[in-house]
Structures are given as C-alpha cells and as structure tokens.
Chain A
Amino acid sequence: MKGPTYSSVNRDVLAPLFTPSAAYMGALSLALAALAWGGYCWAIQLIHGLGVAGYRPPVFWGVYITTFVFWVGIGHAGTLISAVLFLTRSRWRTGIYRAAEAMTIFAVMTAALFPAIHVGRAWYAYFLFPYPNQRQLWVNFKSPLMWDVFAVSTYFTVSTVFFFIGLIPDMAAVRDSTRGYTQKLYAAMCLGWRGTDRQWRHYMAAYGFFAALATPLVLSVHSVVSWDFAMAQTPGWHSTIFPPYFVAGAIFSGCAMVITLMLPLTKVFKLEDYIHVWHFEHLAKLCLFTGGILTYAYATEYFIAWYSDNMYEWGTFVDRVVGNYWWVFATMVFCNCIAPLAWYFKKVRTNYLWLFVISVLINVGMWFERYNIIASSLAHSFDPAGWVYYVPTYIEWGIMLGSFGWFFTWFLLFAKIMPSVAIAEVKEMMRPPLKSDEEVAAK
C-alpha cells in the first residue's frame, strides 16, 4: 500500500532512537568539539577577565549580548508554531512542531548561558536573583536586565512544561517499543499513559490550556529583551518601535532556524513521509511576512531618526550606513530584506537547496542585525570623543561557536532519545485503517 500506516509511523519515527548512523555520530562529534572549544575560551575569560574579549570602551556590550538576543529570538518560533498554530488549528504544524519546540527550549537554554558569560564577575551572577538572603542584597526592579531575568526564566519554564506535556503520548509509544531499564525511563516520562479516552480528554484540555498560556509569552519575552535597549537612552537603542520590531525579527529568525534544522533532520532520519515540502513552504511564507514587517521597521527607524530632528539619533543611523560598521549594515539588509524576497517565487520556496541557503542567510542576517544595533550604537554615542571601533577577538567568536556546539549537542541528543515528529498527531491526521483496506489489499 502507499503512504504511511499507523505501524510505519511508529517504525520510521522511532528508528533514529535505536541505531545511530555514522552521519549522526559525526554531527554529534562536531557539536561536542565546538562546545569544548567554547568551554576552553570561557575558561580563559574567567581566569583572565573580560579583557580577553575585544571590548573597547564605551562599547561594553558586543558579541555575547548579540548572541544572547540571537538565541532568544531563535527560541521564538517553537512556541509560535506549537502554541499559536495549535490554537488556530493550522494543520501544517503537526510534522514540525516537536522539533521546533525542542529547538525553542535548547535555544533558550543557550541564551541563558550568555548573561553569565557576559558579566564581569560570573561567580556573582546569582546576585541577579531576588531571594531573601543574609547579605541583605536586593535587586533593582527598575532595571530592564531584571525584567529579562523574569521574562527568560518564565519563558523557559512554560515552554519546557508544554514540551513535556506534548511528549506524553509519544513517550508511551517509545515505552512500548523498548524494554528493561530504558523502558522504565520512558515509562516515567509518559506518566503512566495508556491512551484511554479519559486520559485523552484530560490531555487535550491541558494541552490547550498550556498553549493559551504560552501564547502571550511569544510576544512578551522578546518585547522584554528589546527593552534592554529601548529603555536605555543610547541613540540607536532608545526607540518605541523596538518591541514589535524585535518580536517580528524573532519569529523571522526562528522560522528560518526551523527550516535550517529540519531540512537535514528530515534527510538524515528519512522522515520525508512525514515532513513535506509543504511544511517548509509554509515556514517560508511566514518568513516572508515577518521579513516584510522587519524591513518596514528598519525604514521606520530611519524615518523617525530623520524626522525627530535629533542630531545624535540621526548621527548614529548615518554612521551605521557609512561608518566603520557599514559592512554589518550591508550584510543585515541583504540577508534580511533582500534575500528572502526570492521566496516570493514558488519554485524557489519549494526547492530544498534554496530553502536551506536562504534560511541560513536569514540566520546570519539576524545575528548581524543585533550586532548592528548593539555595537554600532555604542561605538557612536553622544560624545564624539568616545567614538571607537570595536572588533571581537577569537575568544568571543570561540564562545559563540561554543554556543552553537551546546545547542546542537542538545538537539542531537533530543533527536536520539525522543521522537522528533509527534507520532500521535501525525496519526491523527491519517485516515484510520479500515477493514476495507485489507480487502482491497487482498485483492
């Protein structure tokens, strides 16, 4: 017969959980190597101080905060796809939402490393948590960095719970195909799932509830992150457009990242039966939409800088185009505003190679967007005596590479121990097996 059957879904989706291929092992080794290099670089930084990074005062934030915002942005698409698209009953989410959600959690986990990496005294980073202590220290709730702590930790908690709830039926499927010690582990994770009607009813209610709870977070977390900048008065940061602009950018980069991750995953794990070009096309369309918002936001920033008649603001924006950081600006505009336009052509957005290339470009562009905002604004602030050119060092690039290693290590482990496509939901989409099918087959 054609197409997947209930049993083939289980077999195909669970296959990667049993025999790791050479490609998988290779990818995991690469990720671990990158992680080790990042760890080494961080160790050097902890020993010698932040001076090993390229900071050039008054540029006090650089690659670390850029990468932090980048990962928080990546972390956006997962919840959007799993929660918002669930609530709007968009059918195309089923094939991809599991991996997208995992990506979200790992991206937030990666992002959460950076505040600790970036502070001068990482060993005191816990000062940022408000808890009663005998040191009589308290935190400053006026500070956007404090809001960040709450926004990111809330987002992480809710996404993780949502993720594990979504996993329950699939964990039961894994439990049923394993034995011994492993089986006990999966049995614990599926919380005694037996697939009864009663369980399904409760499960669906809980899932819907968490989807509703997670939805506002999609908007809030990146709005709060954008306030790190918008609440400061540095020209180039101090702007009311930042929250919507950052949220659009985050969804844009997150969807691009889903494409970048899912395409190889589909190929390597042979999941083409479940994840089609059709899924990717939808993601590409979402990128086109959010990319449009982003381009509009860029234009608005320039218009307001000019229209406000504020020489500092305008000076910063002009400097971004013609100053030391012109190449960052050019990369950003090309990757975020121009390259995705190719997806207006159906041929391009249904071609795996082009999908992959442009999605990678978008990720590069979105990283540079944050770099452009952070570095070029600080390097061209109010007082011309403080105009400098900040260039990152190998330590910063190493830690950034390490963050990719960290992210991919988690993602690859996820692909090995959890079904990367939601088995239960895929089955929901399928026509149930009928007696007549068997008869047709017999003939």
Chain B
Amino acid sequence: MATMNRRDFLRNAAVAGSATAAACTYDPKVPVENVLPYVNQDDDVLPGTAQYFATTCTACASACGMLARVKEGRAVFVEGNPDHPSGGRLCTRGHMVLTETYNPDRFDGPLNAGKPTTWDEALAGIQQAVTQARADGKAVAWLGQYRTGSLRRLLDELGAGIGLRRVHWEALGAETLLAASRAAFNKDAIPSFDLADAHTIVSFGMDFLSTSLDTMHFIDGWSQARDPQHGGFVARFVAFEPRVGATSAQADNFLPPTPGTEALVAMALARLVHDKVKYSGPASALVGAVDVAAAAQASGIPLEKLEQVAGWITEAPSVVLPGGHANASVDGTALAIATFLINEFAGNVGRSVVFGRELQLGQVNSYTEVKALLDDARAGRVGVLFVDGVNPVYNLPAADKAGEALDAVGTLVHFAREIDDSLRPASIVLPTGSGLEDWGDAEVVAGVHSILQPAMLSGRDTRALGDVLLAFGKALAPAAAAPAVVPAPTDAAAKAPVEGEPVAAPVPTPSSRMGFDHADFAAYVKARWEREIYPLAGGTSFARFWVESLQRGGFFQELPKARAGLVLAAAPTVTGLAAGSDPALVVFPHPHLADGRHANQPWAQELPDTLTSFSWTTWVEISPATARNLGLGETDKVKVRTEHGELEAGYFASPGVPDNVIAVNLGNGHEQMGRYGTGRGANPVRLLPSAADPLSGALAYYSARASVSRAVGESDAFAQIGNLDQDGRPIANIVTVAEAVEHVEGKAGSIVHLHEIPMDERLTSTGITDMYPEPQHPTYRFGMAIDTNVCTGCMACVVACNLENNVPFVGPDQSRRGRMMSWIRMDRFWEGEGEHQDVRHMPSLCQHCAHAPCEGVCPVLATYHNLDGLNAMIYNRCVGTRYCANNCPYTARRFNFHSWQWPESMHLMLNPDVSSREMGVMEKCTFCVQRIRGVKDTWRDVGETAPDSALQKLTACASACPSGAITFGNAKDADSLVAKKWQSPRAYTLLGELNTKPGIRYLARARFSDGAVSDAGGHGGTAPAHHEEG
C-alpha cells in the first residue's frame, strides 16, 4: 500500500463511492424514471391539464365521432364526440383504437421479408416492382377495406394513373344490403333505419345493437323507442333469427324459423302485410304468388304468429330490418329485398327506412370478386398486391386457399400496424399510424364529413397511408394525363338543403383532379376540404371553417329524410339451406373482436361476451337439449364438424339456440397474430364452404350444416357470470310495458315488486331501523341511475371504465380463475325461454352505499364514506384482509391477486390522474373520483356547486353508454336528472332490504305481458318469495 499516492486514493475512493451509491439505489423492480421538463413548451400544453382532439373512430367502417383526451402528449382516453351526429356515443370496439395505438406488437418501422428496412428503400423497391409488373403485363392490385373521403379520392386517382385493380371488401361487409338496395330502390347506398318512432321493430338477424354498421345510430333510436317517456310507448322487438345473439337477446318475441326458411318467412310476412293494408300498386304482383301457409309450415312458425306480427307491423309505425350476419345465407340478398318489400307495404319507406341520411361506403366489392382476384394471383397474374386492413387468410374459407394466392404474388405489400394471418414471409410491411396518429377524413353517412386528426405523435417509424399513396402517385403517375372529367358542383348542391324537400345526397363530386402535388396527406385533406366541403358550408373564410371543423370533428349537414320508389321487377328466388338432417351452422361475429380485427387487443379479448360471459377464446353455442344428449359436463369441449373442416372449442348451452342450430363465433382462431391473439380458440370460417349469395356475391356464413360431438380435453371457455338465471331472486327486475307506460311519472310510487322483509312495527314507528346515524352529505350526494330497460349489455361502460381507471387486464389464465379486475361486471340473467326469451343485463358495480357493509369490517379503515356520498378507498392503507369484499352483497370489490403488468408501450396508455394499484390491495369503482374532483374544483373556483349538466355524463361509464342508460349526478339536487330518475316508478335499489342505502338505483326493464313472466322479482305480488323450491 505504500505505493498509493493521494491521487490514486481519490480515484479509487471515487470509484468505490459511486459503486456503493449505485448499489444502494439500484432496485431492479423499480425502473429508473426521469422526469424531464419541456425545453420549449407548447403554448397549448399545460402540464396536468388535458387537451381534447375531435377526431373520427377507425375501429370499423361506421366512422363515428370520437374525442381523444391527451395528457402531456399522450392520448389516454377516447370517448364519443357529442358534436358529431353519432351523438357522443362510442361502442366497445371504438375504445380499441386507444389500445391499438399502444399495442406492444406494433411494427416499429418498415420491414422487407421480415428484415427492417428504410422507408426510402421499401418505397423505391415497390415502385420498381409496380413498373416491372406493368411492363410484364401483370396486374397491380389492391385488396383493402372500405375507404371513403380523401383516401378514396386519392386511391381513385392513383388507381386510374397506374391501372390499379381495386377490390374493397370487408368480412362483415355490406354487399348484401347494397345489392338489395340497388335491386329494390335502384340506389347505390344503404338506407338508414330510424328506430326512434317505431312501435314495432322486426329484425331478420341484423346485429344492429352490436356489430352492424351504424350501430350508434341504431342504439340512439332504440333507446328512444324503448323509453316510455318518449312518445308514450315502448317498442316491441320481434326477432326472426336462428339464435339469440347480442341484439336478439333484447327481443320481446324471439321466433327462430327453421334454418334456411328466413327468406320464405319474410316473403310470407310481406304478403300478410300487403293483404292487411290492402296495398295496391305495381309491387302487389311481387307477392301474389307467395304461399303463406306453406312458408309457415316450412319455417315452423305458426301462421297465427305470423299474422300477429303482421298486425303489429301495420297497426303503428314500425321498421323491418334486413338480415345481418346471422342471416348471411345464400338467400341473404333475397331476404333483404323481402324486408324492403314489407317496409314498402307498411309505409315505412321514407318514414323509418330512409334515404337522404344514407350510408355510402365508397367502393364495395363482394366476396366473389375477392375470390377472382385471389384466383388470378394464384395463377401468377398479379405482380404487385397491396393489402390494406383486410385479413383474407383468416376470413376466407379454407377452400379459397388465400395463403397460397398471396404467396404467388410477385411483390406483396401490407399496410399494417401489427402482424396478422395474411402477412407472408416475403411481405413488405409498411406500418401505418393508428387512428390517433394520422390525418384523414371519412364520409360514410351522407352529409357527415368527419375529420381524423392526429391526437399524438406515433413514436414509431410509421407513415400515414395517404402519405405513402401520395409518394406512389408522385413517383408512378405524375403526369397521369387528363383529369377525370367531372361536372363542377352545381349551385343546387352547394345550397343549404330546404326543409322537407328531398334532395339528392350531396356525394362530394370530384370537381377536378386533386393530383399528387401536395406536401403531405394532411395538406391533401385540407386542400380537398377547401375545394369540396367548404363550398357546402358556404362560409366566408376557409381558414376559419377549417379550424371550426377541426374543433367540431368535421362538417355535418343534417339531410332531410327521403323516400325512394320501389323499382323491384321480380320477386327474389329463395334457395334455402342445403338439405340435410344435421343442425345448421351459424357463424356470428364476436361483439368485441368483430371479424377478428381486434383479436390482438387484450381488452377486446378479455371483455366477457355479452351473453355467455366467455373471454379470450372461441366457443360453440348449442341448445341445452343437445348438451344433455351429449352428456357434456361443465368443462368439456365439443367438436364441430362440417364436410369442410372441424374445430374444437368450449361450449355454451344457450337457451336461445334451437336444437337445429349450432353457432360458433368469429374473431379468434388466428394462426398468426400478436401476443394476445395467436393460437386462441378456433376459426369457424374453416368450417364453411366457398359459397356465395348469387345476387350479391357475399360470403354465405350461414350455409353449412354441422354435427357436434363431445371432444377430449378441457374447455378453455370460462364464464365470468356464475348462474344462468337469477334463481327467482329480485336482482334484475321487470315491470310490464302497460305499467311502465301508464306510470311514466313518479306519482304512483314504485311499481317494482320487490322482496320485502317484514319489520317489527315498534321499530318502524319509532324510526330506529338504523344502528348508526345517517352519514352527512353537506353539498353533494353523488348517485347514479341505471335504466336497465335500454341497457343492451354491450360492455362499452366496462371498457371505458377500465381505460379511464387504469384497471389492468389479467390475461386468459387469471380470467379463467375469475379474477377479472373490471370494476363493472355485466350481470346477465337468462329468464324465460322459447319465444319469450328474457335476457336481462345489468351493470353491477359498487353501489356507494350510505350504510356500506364493507366500511365497518375493514380493520384498518382503508375504506370509508366521504362527505360527497362516495364509498372511498385508500389503497395505501389497505392490508388486503378482503373482509370488505366478503361482506359486499353486490360482490363489487376486486382484489389485486398479483402485480398486473402492462407490457412495454402499453404502460404509456395509463391515465396519469389515477394511481395504479399494487399486489395485495383491494379496489373497486370510485365513481371516477378524479373526474369528480376536477369538476368540483372548477366550480368551487367560481364559488358554485357543480351544475347538473356538468355531472350527468361525468363518469366514464355514463359518458360511454351508447344508449344513455347510465345517469350520474348529485342526488341531493332535486332538479337533477339523477334525482328525477330515482323517483321513477320503475326505480328500485338493489337488495334494498339489506338497508345498505345504495347510491345507485336501477330502473326496471319493461316487458310485454304476453311474454310469460316467470320470475319472483317481477310479478306475483309482494309476498316474499321463497324456499318452496328447496
């Protein structure tokens, strides 16, 4: 040591010291986080304050308005845009735009045959391939989803410039409806259906409350038609459908025709309606030959029933909805035409089936056209194929050999954010931004021009699809000769529509060629708006119009309803299902995964299905009798076999599935997806023949017969909901429609018959029913009203709550153990059977009781009642005895059994206003206390209490609910909407006899009294119901 001098000592000491310091501070479990201030702070950004961007949802083709809430440069929440005609509603799948943005499996940059490459190289290669293909006489083709607005325009021009063969197709597409609309009305658009004033809603399988196009508009009408305060009636919903699905679960009369006879039933109904209204017109000839008795005989629906339905259709305004996916059979178009006939006879066209506000989806091609393209590709005739947002390998029947076809393409280009089944090893991947990152616009509903504006930067090396197309245009078709000759907009089109006068839908007709000479796609969109949309508004300054449109989320014209004359020449021929004794196979879309596009979104996977409450997998729905005959136990799997393929999955013995039907959901069964979607469940399309509806060319999902048998192994389908029905308990209660309509106002007191526990008069007369005094609520008593009459069980409230409150997803294994963390559990009680299926949905969440059973039992005071009426939870104080959860009669509490993980990039989605919870801590609904605090503070600053308007939709669930079933507010304020709803004759408190004094009241569902009401809760007087069954 003698050699160590002062310098060495200091050097060593410094090293040793810093090593010690590092060793002391390093904790592998706590990631190092740096809090960095802005160097140049954006004027608009105030740290801690949210910014809202009005944009458009990209989850499906409906293009609903969406607001993105951005905190410090990150979008943390999405909700409906109230300024948009979609009415501030956003469905379950719309929320997936947020998780898509943060999905950890997103591509970080372009790939060529699996290897990272640069944009310049990738684009140059593709351009060369396009030039080569054209030189070789091979096709340059496009297979993509529906595109409207500027993208459609850009594609049109690029396509014309380079001779692009375009096929726009979606698995849950609109070919059938469009074909029927063309045939019946000679219209190149899909009519819009207004349910609001319909007293009877008849559906032939349309999934209008869940996965169909324009769902938000349907739900808007539905919630009005079901509300006894709106028009003094409650609409009756009659469903002719092979199985009870997410939509037909709401049906008052569920009438499943013998599979394959749906179109016959529709024609028979058309004849009956025709006869009832004594219709006279040229269309009479179309139903002259219909044999109603034979149709009744074939369908198994009694003639009297059909006559009754025809009576309902004719006696008051009604609407008949054409077939959706469950009825996508070889007769799909025929069925849709038949429904248009019924509407025509009943006088609904122009009243509830309207043009004007019609749906235009841009170029719509059919499944047979996709097949033709793939056939050419397989034959080596396609040099370059662009794939945009479709997944043919997953969504086409095996016989179409889509994978082989894609492999045979010279250069395959995918516009994709994440991997999917259709990505081949040789694909060039061009990653696009998410719906929150790119510019764009959409024009789906006539007159509704919605803008997509980026709410945040991508952080990945992505480009907007429009930017890529512009680059191609500049490189490949700069001089694409003469602009397409189009007439300049006439004065009539630019004028504001005159009230009541039908006008042609203002399809923005291209005034002139846009060209490709734009700085980027944002500039392109703006230029197009200036040229085509701005004249419609007729303002004085485009700059101002543009800013206003961005703020509003677009430019919206309210077009008057228009009717269209029936031009149908001949009655459609009905083919029916192939003969056979096996049950018919129904392939239906998953309510959250839709056609499978959201399969890699963990929330879409984990949200329980509306009816079965299964998650993370595929299941088979069979009738209870079939399950009994197969001797199936709860955890058994079944095998479904058709002549085209077979699959194994868990099953659900659904009271809503007849013996002659087997139903399997679409959405899972991906061979190639990201971490959440790969190898989960099975793909039912593999069971289908390559069959199409001859009139529209649509894929016939409902065309095969299948057999079901018991399979070896354990099912991976686990129900989150315990019991099928409510076991006679008054949980989800009902009243009759007659009562509901009669007692719209709250004067009659409650009309809900509940289980009353008789109390000793000596207690009630002296008022000493409580041991503890009533809690004090000096200013606010926050409360909620949930109208189960309009709740469709869609789960939008659940997913909105999860995203707002940083509720973690727990994954398939933990879900199977029933440990989902969602603060709202959608209770589903399946009462009744046969025609009078009675599926009751009820969002079950913390009831914020004034006398909360959870509060007294917590040994460490981690949960308590606050002055605002909230049942508050202090996470840091919680030790995790779980006594509170045991004592909660609503089972509303959730426990963190593990430290749940958000993978890299998904943690950026967390809402900074809400703390995330650690392992061993209890949590539950807080009524979005962070939002309450925000509003209260805002109004306290001006010395006032928050007004009702600021509270009604305050919580995430209330703001998300598409049907407006959830109302929030200050129950102490007698004028508030929630206080009024609390006084509704349909209002009741859940398990009120426990004297918990909940802060939530439910409004009972209204059922028609012809639906045999079987529960103790609904009818049969106030006699306490009982134990006789034991």
Q: Which residues of B contact A144 (CB under 8 A)?
A: 857, 883
The chain B residue sitting closest to A312, CB to CB, is B729
- Checking B723, B853, B861 against A233 with a beta-carbon cut-off of 8 angstroms, the contacting residue is B853
Q: Which residues of B contact A120 (CB under 8 A)?
A: 878-882, 895-896, 919-922
A56–B819 contact, CB under 8 A?
yes
Q: Which residues of B contact A128 (CB under 8 A)?
A: 859-860, 879
Q: Which residues of A contact B844 (CB under 8 A)?
A: 383, 385
Q: Does A61 contact B (CB under 8 A)?
A: yes
Residues of chain A in range 203-246 having any CB-CB distance to chain B below 8 Å: 228, 231-234
Provided the pairs A311-B1027, A385-B827, A387-B722 are in contact, do residues A121 and B891 lie with their beta carbons within 8 angstroms? no
B897–A231 contact, CB under 8 A?
no
A58–B860 contact, CB under 8 A?
no
B889–A119 contact, CB under 8 A?
no
A51–B728 contact, CB under 8 A?
no
B921–A121 contact, CB under 8 A?
yes
The chain B residue sitting closest to A310, CB to CB, is B757
Q: Does A189 contact B (CB under 8 A)?
A: no
- Checking A50, A60, A124 against B885 with a beta-carbon cut-off of 8 angstroms, the contacting residue is A60
A382–B729 contact, CB under 8 A?
yes
Of A48, A124, A309, A384, which is in contact with the most chain B CB atoms at under 10 Å from its CB? A384
Q: Which residues of B contact A158 (CB under 8 A)?
A: none
A143–B723 contact, CB under 8 A?
no
CB distance from A235 to the nearest CB of B (A): 9
Residues of chain A in range 84-139 having any CB-CB distance to chain B below 8 Å: 115, 118-122, 124-125, 127-128, 137-139
A127–B879 contact, CB under 8 A?
yes
B1027–A60 contact, CB under 8 A?
no
The docked-state distance in angstroms from the alpha carbon of A233 to that of B996 is 11
The chain A residue sitting closest to B813, CB to CB, is A51
Q: Which residues of B contact A384 (CB under 8 A)?
A: 722-723, 725-727, 729, 731, 829
The docked-state distance in angstroms from the alpha carbon of A386 to that of B820 is 12
Q: Does A151 contact B (CB under 8 A)?
A: no
Of A119, A120, A146, A315, which is in contact with the most chain B CB atoms at under 10 Å from its CB? A120
CB distance from B816 to the nearest CB of A (A): 10
- Checking A49, A119, A382 against B897 with a beta-carbon cut-off of 8 angstroms, the contacting residue is A49
- 1/0 per residue A275-291: CB within 8 Å of B? 00000000000000000
Q: Does B848 contact A (CB under 8 A)?
A: no
- 1/0 per residue A39-60: CB within 8 Å of B? 0000000001111001111101
The chain A residue sitting closest to B921, CB to CB, is A120
Q: Does B825 contact A (CB under 8 A)?
A: yes
- 1/0 per residue B835-870: CB within 8 Å of A? 000000000100000000100111111000000000
Residues of chain A in range 136-155 having any CB-CB distance to chain B below 8 Å: 137-140, 142-146, 149
- Checking A127, A232, A311, A312 against B883 with a beta-carbon cut-off of 8 angstroms, the contacting residue is A232
Q: Does A306 contact B (CB under 8 A)?
A: yes
Chain A interface residue bracket vs B: 35 or more
CB distance from B838 to the nearest CB of A (A): 15
A138–B861 contact, CB under 8 A?
yes
B878–A233 contact, CB under 8 A?
no
B729–A386 contact, CB under 8 A?
no
A140–B858 contact, CB under 8 A?
yes
A382–B890 contact, CB under 8 A?
yes
Q: Which residues of B contact A233 (CB under 8 A)?
A: 853, 887, 889, 994
The chain B residue sitting closest to A324, CB to CB, is B634
- Checking B861, B879, B898, B1016 against A49 with a beta-carbon cut-off of 8 angstroms, the contacting residue is B898
B857–A143 contact, CB under 8 A?
yes
A119–B818 contact, CB under 8 A?
no
* Count, A-B residue pairs, CB within 8 A: 184
Q: Which residues of B contact A317 (CB under 8 A)?
A: 1030
The docked-state distance in angstroms from the alpha carbon of A142 to that of B896 is 25
The docked-state distance in angstroms from the alpha carbon of A60 to that of B1024 is 30
Interface SS of chain B: loop
A57–B1027 contact, CB under 8 A?
no
Residues of chain A in range 361-416 having any CB-CB distance to chain B below 8 Å: 378, 381-388
Q: Does B899 contact A (CB under 8 A)?
A: yes
Q: Does B495 contact A (CB under 8 A)?
A: no
Provided the pairs A49-B919, A60-B885 are in contact, do residues A139 and B728 lie with their beta carbons within 8 angstroms? no
A145–B891 contact, CB under 8 A?
no
- Checking B731, B859, B887, B896 against A383 with a beta-carbon cut-off of 8 angstroms, the contacting residue is B731
The docked-state distance in angstroms from the alpha carbon of A209 to that of B1015 is 62
The docked-state distance in angstroms from the alpha carbon of A379 to that of B725 is 16
Of A228, A310, A315, A383, which is in contact with the most chain B CB atoms at under 10 Å from its CB? A383
The docked-state distance in angstroms from the alpha carbon of A388 to that of B723 is 8
B897–A140 contact, CB under 8 A?
no
Q: Which residues of A contact B1016 (CB under 8 A)?
A: 311
The chain B residue sitting closest to A384, CB to CB, is B723
CB distance from B461 to the nearest CB of A (A): 37
Of B723, B859, B890, which is in contact with the most chain A CB atoms at under 10 Å from its CB? B859
B1026–A381 contact, CB under 8 A?
no
Provided the pairs A119-B881, A385-B844 are in contact, do residues A50 and B886 lie with their beta carbons within 8 angstroms? no
B886–A51 contact, CB under 8 A?
no
The docked-state distance in angstroms from the alpha carbon of A50 to that of B879 is 12
The docked-state distance in angstroms from the alpha carbon of A57 to that of B899 is 17
Q: Does A71 contact B (CB under 8 A)?
A: no
Residues of chain B in range 886-931 having any CB-CB distance to chain A below 8 Å: 886-891, 894-899, 918-922
Q: Which residues of A contact B897 (CB under 8 A)?
A: 49-51, 55
The docked-state distance in angstroms from the alpha carbon of A194 to that of B677 is 80
Provided the pairs A120-B919, A127-B879, A382-B729 are in contact, do residues A57 and B755 lie with their beta carbons within 8 angstroms? no
The docked-state distance in angstroms from the alpha carbon of A231 to that of B721 is 27
B896–A139 contact, CB under 8 A?
no
Q: Does B991 contact A (CB under 8 A)?
A: yes
Q: Does B278 contact A (CB under 8 A)?
A: no
B819–A57 contact, CB under 8 A?
yes
Q: Does A314 contact B (CB under 8 A)?
A: yes
Q: Does B566 contact A (CB under 8 A)?
A: no
Q: Does B11 contact A (CB under 8 A)?
A: no
B729–A119 contact, CB under 8 A?
no
Q: Does A299 contact B (CB under 8 A)?
A: no
- 1/0 per residue B992-1030: CB within 8 Å of A? 001000000000000000000000100000001111001
A57–B885 contact, CB under 8 A?
yes
Q: Does B18 contact A (CB under 8 A)?
A: no
A121–B886 contact, CB under 8 A?
no
The docked-state distance in angstroms from the alpha carbon of A58 to that of B856 is 18
Q: List 26 A-B contacts (CB under 8 A).
A: A50-B880, A50-B920, A51-B814, A57-B819, A57-B895, A60-B886, A60-B895, A61-B882, A119-B920, A120-B920, A120-B921, A121-B918, A124-B879, A125-B879, A137-B860, A140-B859, A142-B856, A145-B859, A232-B853, A309-B1027, A318-B1030, A382-B991, A382-B994, A383-B844, A383-B891, A386-B891
Contacts A55-B897, A120-B919 aside, 8 further interface pairs with beta carbons under 8 A come to A50-B920, A54-B817, A60-B882, A127-B877, A143-B856, A232-B853, A311-B1025, A386-B722
**Which B positions have Cβ atoms within 8 angstroms of A?**
721-723, 725-729, 731, 755, 757, 814, 817-819, 825, 827-829, 844, 853, 856-861, 877-883, 885-891, 894-899, 918-922, 991, 994, 1016, 1024-1027, 1030
**9 A-B pairs with least C-beta separation:** A120-B880, A120-B920, A387-B722, A51-B897, A384-B723, A60-B882, A121-B920, A386-B891, A385-B827
